[in-house]
Amino acid sequence: MGEPKFMVVHALNLVDPNNWPEAPVTLTDGTQTTARRYQSPAAESRHLAALQAAAQHRFTEAPFRVLKLGLTVPRAELDARINARAERMVAQGLCSEVATLLDQGHAPTLAPLLAPGYREMVAHLRGQLGLDEALRRMQQRTRAFAKRQLTWFRPDLETRWLPASAPDAAPGAVAEFLRRA
C-alpha cells in the first residue's frame, strides 16, 4: 500500500490535483489534525460562511417527522455508574487490552487510544501512573465526557427527555407522537 504520509498526499491529489503539493510531505504526527495542514488554496480564499452557503445542508427540511427521546439520570447516580463501569473495565482486562494494542505496534497517539480509559492505561503501562491513579483519572475524564455530552444534547428543543428510572414512559411518548401524525 505505502506509507500513510504518502497515501494522504496521494488522496489529496486525487481530490484536487491542481491545489495539492506534488512533492512528498512529511507528516509530523499521526493524528486527525494532520489533514487540516493541507487546505486547498482555493478554499482558503473563501470564507467559511460562503463555503457553508454553497453546501446548503440537505436536512433543513426533513421529509418525515422524527421523535427524539433522551434519558435523564440524576447526576450522582450517573457518576456512580460511570465509576463502577470504569472499575469493571479495569477488572475485566482493560490494561492487558491496551498492552496488546501497543505490542501490536499501534501508536499511543491514535485517536482510539486517546479515549477516556485508554489514555490512562497507556500512562500506567509506561510507568507514569500507578493503577489506582490511572483508574481515578479514567473515572474523572469519563465523568467530564458525560457532562460535555449532556451540555451538547440538552439545548436540543426537539428532544423529549424522560427519566431513565421510568421505562414505561417511552412507549407513552411514542404513542403520543404517533397520534399527532
Q: Would 60 be classed as within a structural domain?
A: no
CATH classification at residue 120: 1.10.287.890
Domain count, the chain: 2
91 in the same domain as 38: no
Between the CA atoms of 46, 47, 48 and 53, what dihedral angle is there, to the nearest 10 degrees? -80
- Going residue by residue through the chain, which has 181 residues, state the pLDDT in tens, using 9 for 90 and above: 455 555 555 555 555 555 544 444 444 554 444 444 444 545 555 555 665 565 565 556 667 888 999 999 999 999 999 999 999 999 999 999 999 999 999 999 999 999 999 999 999 999 999 999 999 999 999 999 999 999 999 888 889 999 999 988 999 999 999 999 7
Residues 4 and 27 sit within 8 Å (Cβ to Cβ)? yes
107 in the same domain as 51: no
89 in the same domain as 135: yes
Q: Would 105 be classed as within a structural domain?
A: yes
Q: What domain range includes position 41?
A: 4-55
Q: Would 169 be classed as within a structural domain?
A: no
Residues 19 and 42 sit within 8 Å (Cβ to Cβ)? yes
Q: Would 63 be classed as within a structural domain?
A: no
